Amino acid sequence: MGLFDKLFQSKKIEICAPAKGELVPISNVSDPAFSEEMVGKGVALKPSEGRFYAPCDGTLAVLFPTGHAYCLKSSEGAEVLIHIGIDTVKLEGKCFTIHAKQGDEVKKGDLIVEVDLNGVKEAGYDTITPIIISNPDDFSNLEKKEGNVSAGEAAILLSK
């Protein structure tokens, strides 16, 4: 195996923060489906801005009509769930403006959903946003970041 092959093989796949905010451990999420990693492995984002973007290149496999959650199938095979807030499906789309459609091919940084974060909070919901890899067993390693991030900065690094 040549040097190029080794470099290519060790390339990490970046799943980026979908919005500006603070990355915290997934255990900080109040919903046990996320905090106990029943849905998959990942991190949580405490968003400070309400513009949510594609965290990677891929296909927008699922976009809930309420705008509260979306799933991408990355071009590298990662299945990424972005769930904006906890129990926000109960808002029935209030506070969410959708800018994409299910089935779209998206590039990292494409705007998917805008959220009125203050409206969500005033309605009594937590805006903490799980960023979940729902097929973690397809990867040899999953590295989670923490701390303040801008949209588009690495949140999770995957290795094949």
Per the CB < 8 A criterion, the answer to whether 106 and 26 are in contact is: no
Domain count, the chain: 1
Is residue 8 included in any domain, yes or no? no
What residues contact residue 12 under an 8 Å CB cut-off, 6+ apart?
A: 143, 157, 158, 159
Residue 57 lies in a domain: yes
Q: Is there a domain that residue 149 lies in?
A: yes
Q: Which domain holds residue 20?
A: 13-159
Residue 2 lies in a domain: no
Q: What is the pLDDT of residues 11-64, one digit of tens each?
A: 789 999 999 999 999 999 999 999 999 999 999 999 999 999 999 999 999 999
* pLDDT tens digits, one per residue of 114-152: 999 999 999 999 999 999 999 999 999 999 999 999 999
Residue 83 a catalytic site member: yes
CATH number at residue 82: 2.70.70.10
The yes-or-no verdict on residue 1 having pLDDT over 50 is: no
- Residue of 20, 68, 83, 144 marked active site: 83
Residue 102 resides in a domain = yes
Distance between CA atoms of residues 110 and 57, nearest Å: 9
Q: How far apart are CA 63 and CA 69, in angstroms?
A: 6
Q: Could you tell me if 144 and 42 are in contact, meaning their C-beta atoms sit under 8 angstroms apart?
A: yes
Is 41 domain-assigned? Answer: yes
Half-sphere exposure in the Cβ direction for 93 (13 Å, CA): 7
Look at residue 5 and tell me if it is in a domain.
no
